[in-house]
Amino acid sequence: TTVVRREDYAPPAYWIDTVELTFDLDPAKTRVLNRMALRRNPAVPAQPLRLDGEELNLARVLVNGAGCSFKMDGGQLVLDNLPSLEEHGDAPFTLEIFTTCAPEKNSQLMGLYVSQGTFFTQCEAEGFRRITYFLDRPDVMASYTVTLRADKQRYPVLLSNGNLVESGELADGRHFAKWVDPHRKPCYLFALVAGQLVAREQRIVSRGGQEHLLQVYVRPGDMDKTEHAMNSLMASVAWDEARFGLPLDLERFMIVATSDFNMGAMENKGLNIFNTKYVLANSATATDTDFANIESVVGHEYFHNWTGNRVTCRDWFQLSLKEGLTVFRDQEFSMDLCAEASARAVKRIEDVRVLRTAQFPEDAGPMAHPVRPDSYVEINNFYTVTVYEKGAEVVRMMQTLVGREGFARGMKLYFERHDGQAVTCDHFAQALADANPDSALARLLEPFKRWYSQAGTPRVRAEGHYDAAARRYTLSLTQRCAPTPGQALKQPFVIPVALGLLDAEGRELPLAPEQRLFVLTEVSQSLVFDGVDSEPVPSLLRGFSAPVVLECDYSDEQLLILLANDSDPFNRWEAGQRLALRRALAAIAAPGAVDAPLDAAFIEAMRAVLRHERLDAAFKELALTLPSETYIAEQLEVVDPQRVHAVREAMREQLATALQADWVWAYEAHKDNGAYRPDPLSAGRRALAGLALAMLCLQARRSGDAVWPGKAYQRFKDAGNMTDRFNALSALVVADHPLAREALTRFHAMFRDEALVLDKWFALQAGAPDRGGNVLPAVKQLMAHRDFNPRNPNRARSVIFSYCNANPGAFHRADAAGYVFWSERVIEIDRFNPQVAARLARALDRWRKLAEPYRGAAREAIARVAAQTELSNDVREVVTRALS
């Protein structure tokens, strides 16, 4: 295996100016003619041209129209007697390469592949080399002309990047389409699609008066599920113009949906390709979460058009340059679409929850890496929550340090300087600092950039001291960060701490604007507040102003004050989570069987939140949801997953029982919402009604009462939308009620032809709470179901990932059967789709934290995978790091 290092970056030895690609599309054997105009890069010593290629059959190579000699070296095509290698020979030259490939055999879904009879491509990060020999690196940008030829009946729609300039008939029932992309681009943004598709179309006029055609292409039966994606796309175009002055730079912008896709979506220039999961929705088939995800993924890919495509990455170590920034942009987009401030806060809480349950564990585990990694074996393994979500937090902190207007100024300067270029994270940070010379970011730029270079989650310890005589409150903040693989010592991070102080009645103390944001730059610093009449309660890290763990020895009373009064909704939610976590940790540590972990004070506080007159439903649902098992486990040195599961379940049951009357009220008060609209307010009401119903069914399980399961079943049958229907089904399944079987059978029959709904059906069962070890046998049965297909990533994820990655109580079995199952699946999937297998392989990242017998068994399972001789680089890198 070869390790690629950031410090080894060297500019390319050749530039490719133009590319003319001609495809004769055939599932079994597609012929590709690649005609390029190249020139030597004079800034680099003369050397042979080495082109990347993978799984290609090479037919012919011509230089300036004549045959030439070449060598193959480790998959690369090497040309070492080019005219430009002769003395003074740096004139441009043409290179023509004829290859063939077999799209129908491409099970990795990288390069050119066939999904349900339609051709698709996926080129990021290094898939273009599976289409033709090329300089497959993002800093080589070229102008593309693409001609597609195919059988007209089977492939009536032929799409590629840019503008359609010509189309027509060919002999033998074939036809062609010729596309010219007016923008230079790296090859990872190339795309083609060919098949039987229909499009929802929308013409729009941008602020500058330009006309554009927006299209959402889907299979013919899916047209009735495209309205929301189109609305999201129109909103994205409008938002990027309004907030950042960034217009759509194409006459035509296309989205195409495919049901076989390794990730969520791909931002190919003018031709975004999407997993169907992030396009198709109507009220009968998609939940509120699906609607929200579609909005943010459509936004995300569209925003890449500037942050990623117009300005791209110099090399793949800079991935967060486009991904962190674009996640930040899609988060802001979703927040700006919220009509109410409370809905913005809910979105922020949801985003932080993802960060803390997925990225914090990554940052503490064997795959920990900086936002800008220093090395990789397989770049596909670095499309991570660290690069994406932590990267977005880094951008958010920059916005906090320069202000919202300052950030917009910085973006403007970034595009003025770098439009059309392939650059690094340093260029971005520099533009933001230069546009805001008097800001804290400009003053602290070098230490701030440690967020890019140092892995690990900093811990900030806060200690308050009140001096009544002096009416002075002193807050001392101390930071530390544990070692991560390859980084033993960390230098201090620059940590913006947004804060406020509350008095004992929960009233906000007046603070000057500069007191409301403290920037921690040293290991230890103190803040002093004068004229404070009584000991305040500090509200720290408001809005989660930095991706750190905040340690503060709050008393329960202080947390209850914050939960009841904090003007910062994030910290209000956080106070409730801290109270719950404290109780979970105490019950886990207590000897003996798990017994009623919750006390009256906590239950009353939760009741007060649930019954609150002004808090909105979405916030209540978040506040009444206990920290996840994964999040709880992260707080422990040694994890007994069964104990964590038992404690959390006991807490849930206690909340279900103690608040029974309140849940009844919550359900009745929120269950009717009129005609379905996926707006945050009504989605929040549905979420709270769903939680209430789940709690009522859980309580019924204990009491033997049949009323609520009956009501849930009725609601399941009568529901007017998928959110309510699925919540009712889930309430029955989670409570393991006998009616769940009937409901599942009915649900399958209703949606047998809706692949995305069947994914939910599979996922719900594979993610159900374990009762005496019943989930693993159920998962094995699901894998034998006629609708199961491990080669379809969505389906594999819905069964295997839902069990291994999202159901710790069922997966971590004392008999190790869950781990054996995991190792078998990783090995099996790796044979046809290494990327999906490597993601599954991450399920045991945190094995070292496990108590025995889990730890030893998990290690053995990982070692069993590592012992395979025929493993992909993807999986090999993950298991090697896990064991090191």
Give me the active site residues, please.
301
Q: Which of residues 59-88 bind Zn ion (CB under 5 A)?
A: none
**Closer to ligand HT7 at the Cβ: 38 or 112?**
112
**Closer to Zn ion at the Cβ: 246 or 540?**
246
Secondary structure class of 754 (helix, strand, coil): coil
Q: Which of residues 265-284 bind ligand HT7 (CB under 6 A)?
A: 265-267
| Residue 310 contact partner, candidates ligand HT7, Zn ion, none, CB within 5 to 8 A by sort of partner | none
Residue 568 makes contact with ligand HT7 by CB under 6 A: no
Q: Which of residues 807-836 bind ligand HT7 (CB under 6 A)?
A: 835
Instruction: Give 462's strand partners.
Output: 477, 552
The interface region with ligand HT7, picked from 121-129, 464-472, 660-668, 837-845 by CB under 6 A, is 121-129
Taking CB under 6 A as the criterion, the residue among 52, 139, 323, 393 binding ligand HT7 is: 323
The interface region with Zn ion, picked from 99-107, 174-182, 316-324, 390-398 by CB under 5 A, is 316-324
**Closer to Zn ion at the Cβ: 285 or 326?**
326
The interface region with Zn ion, picked from 246-254, 317-325, 473-481, 509-517 by CB under 5 A, is 317-325
**Closer to Zn ion at the Cβ: 160 or 326?**
326
**Closer to ligand HT7 at the Cβ: 160 or 262?**
262
**Closer to ligand HT7 at the Cβ: 200 or 300?**
300
Enclosing H/E stretch for 447: helix 445-448
Q: What DSSP letter does each residue of 311-375 carry, written as one string?
A: BEESSGGGHHHHHHHHHHHHHHHHHHT-SSHHHHHHHHHHHHHHIIIIIHHHHTSTT---SS-SE
Q: Which of residues 371-410 bind ligand HT7 (CB under 6 A)?
A: 380, 383
| Residue 422 contact partner, candidates ligand HT7, Zn ion, none, CB within 5 to 8 A by sort of partner | none
Nearest distance from C-beta of residue 262 to ligand HT7, angstroms: 4
Q: Which residue is nearest to ligand HT7 (CB)?
A: 263
Nearest distance from C-beta of residue 328 to Zn ion, angstroms: 11
- Which of 158, 242, 252 shows the shortest CA–CA distance to 203? 252
Q: Which of residues 326-345 bind Zn ion (CB under 5 A)?
A: 326
Q: Which of residues 768-797 bind ligand HT7 (CB under 6 A)?
A: none
Secondary structure class of 524 (helix, strand, coil): strand
| Type of residue at 572 | R
The residue assigned the tokens 């206990």 is 626
Nearest distance from C-beta of residue 247 to ligand HT7, angstroms: 20
Q: Output the CA–CA distances (angstroms, integers) from residue 214 to 231, 233, 469, in the order listed.
A: 10, 8, 67
Residue 301 makes contact with ligand HT7 by CB under 6 A: yes
**Closer to ligand HT7 at the Cβ: 26 or 267?**
267
Secondary structure class of 605 (helix, strand, coil): helix
Residue 122 makes contact with ligand HT7 by CB under 6 A: yes
Q: Output the CA–CA distances (angstroms, integers) from residue 150 to 156, 162, 244, in the order listed.
A: 8, 19, 41
The interface region with Zn ion, picked from 10-18, 315-323, 344-352, 546-554 by CB under 5 A, is 315-323
> Is the CB of residue 508 less than 8 Å from the CB of residue 501?
yes
Nearest distance from C-beta of residue 613 to ligand HT7, angstroms: 41
Question: Torsion-angle region of residue 535: left (phi > 0), alpha (psi -120 to 50) or beta?
Answer: beta
**Closer to ligand HT7 at the Cβ: 122 or 359?**
122
| Type of residue at 792 | N
Nearest distance from C-beta of residue 373 to Zn ion, angstroms: 16
The interface region with ligand HT7, picked from 118-126, 209-217, 563-571, 797-805 by CB under 6 A, is 118-126
The interface region with ligand HT7, picked from 176-184, 297-305, 310-318, 685-693 by CB under 6 A, is 297-305
**Closer to Zn ion at the Cβ: 20 or 240?**
240
Q: What DSSP letter does each residue of 381-427 carry, written as one string?
A: GG--HIIIIIHHHHHHHHHHHHHHHHHHHHHHHHHHHHTT-EE-HHH
Nearest distance from C-beta of residue 122 to ligand HT7, angstroms: 5
Taking CB under 6 A as the criterion, the residue among 50, 149, 184, 300 binding ligand HT7 is: 300
**Closer to ligand HT7 at the Cβ: 300 or 846?**
300
| Residue 425 contact partner, candidates Zn ion, ligand HT7, none, CB within 5 to 8 A by sort of partner | none
**Closer to Zn ion at the Cβ: 161 or 326?**
326
Nearest distance from C-beta of residue 242 to ligand HT7, angstroms: 22
Nearest distance from C-beta of residue 359 to ligand HT7, angstroms: 15
Nearest distance from C-beta of residue 401 to ligand HT7, angstroms: 25
Q: Which of residues 248-267 bind ligand HT7 (CB under 6 A)?
A: 262-263, 265-267
**Closer to Zn ion at the Cβ: 492 or 793?**
793
| Helix, strand, coil percent values for the chain (each to nearest 5) | 45, 20, 35
| Residue 805 contact partner, candidates ligand HT7, Zn ion, none, CB within 5 to 8 A by sort of partner | none
| Residue 265 contact partner, candidates Zn ion, ligand HT7, none, CB within 5 to 8 A by sort of partner | ligand HT7
| Residue 262 contact partner, candidates Zn ion, ligand HT7, none, CB within 5 to 8 A by sort of partner | ligand HT7
| Residue 290 contact partner, candidates Zn ion, ligand HT7, none, CB within 5 to 8 A by sort of partner | none
From the CB of residue 690, how many other CB atoms can be counted at a distance below 10 Å? Answer: 24
Nearest distance from C-beta of residue 189 to ligand HT7, angstroms: 9
Q: What DSSP letter does each residue of 222-283 carry, written as one string?
A: GGGG-HHHHHHHHHHHHHHHHHH------SEEEEEEES--SSSEE--TTEEEEEGGGT---T
Enclosing H/E stretch for 452: helix 450-453
| Residue 682 contact partner, candidates ligand HT7, Zn ion, none, CB within 5 to 8 A by sort of partner | none
Secondary structure class of 647 (helix, strand, coil): helix
Q: Report the distance separating Cα 569 and Cα 551, nearest Å.
A: 19
Residue 633 makes contact with ligand HT7 by CB under 6 A: no
**Closer to ligand HT7 at the Cβ: 308 or 641?**
308
> Is the CB of residue 276 less than 8 Å from the CB of residue 756?
yes
Backbone angles phi and psi of 788, in degrees to 5: -85, 140
Number of residues that bind ligand HT7 (CB under 6 A): 15
Which tokens hold the place of 513? Answer: 């604007």
Nearest distance from C-beta of residue 188 to ligand HT7, angstroms: 8
Number of residues that bind Zn ion (CB under 5 A): 2
Q: Output the CA–CA distances (angstroms, integers) from residue 783 to 26, 827, 831, 882, in the order listed.
A: 32, 16, 17, 27
> Is the CB of residue 369 less than 8 Å from the CB of residue 881?
no
Q: Which residues of 705-714 are buried (b: 16+ CB within 10 A; e: fewer)?
A: eeebbebbbe
Q: Report the distance separating Cα 743 and Cα 735, nearest Å.
A: 13
Nearest distance from C-beta of residue 90 to ligand HT7, angstroms: 34
Residue 342 makes contact with ligand HT7 by CB under 6 A: no
Q: Output the CA–CA distances (angstroms, integers) from residue 63 to 37, 153, 181, 799, in the order listed.
A: 10, 36, 24, 51
Q: Report the distance separating Cα 840 and Cα 878, nearest Å.
A: 10
> Is the CB of residue 575 less than 8 Å from the CB of residue 562?
yes
Taking CB under 6 A as the criterion, the residue among 20, 54, 124, 759 binding ligand HT7 is: 124
Backbone angles phi and psi of 615, in degrees to 5: -70, 145
DSSP state of 851: P
Spatial CB neighbours of 689, under 8 Å, sequence gap ≥ 6: 666, 667, 670, 671, 724, 727
Residue 125 makes contact with ligand HT7 by CB under 6 A: yes
Nearest distance from C-beta of residue 492 to ligand HT7, angstroms: 31
CA 367 to chain centroid, in Å, comes to: 17
Which residues bind to ligand HT7, rule: CB under 6 A?
Answer: 122, 124-125, 262-263, 265-267, 300-301, 304, 323, 380, 383, 835
Give the footprint of Zn ion on this chain (CB under 5 A).
323, 326
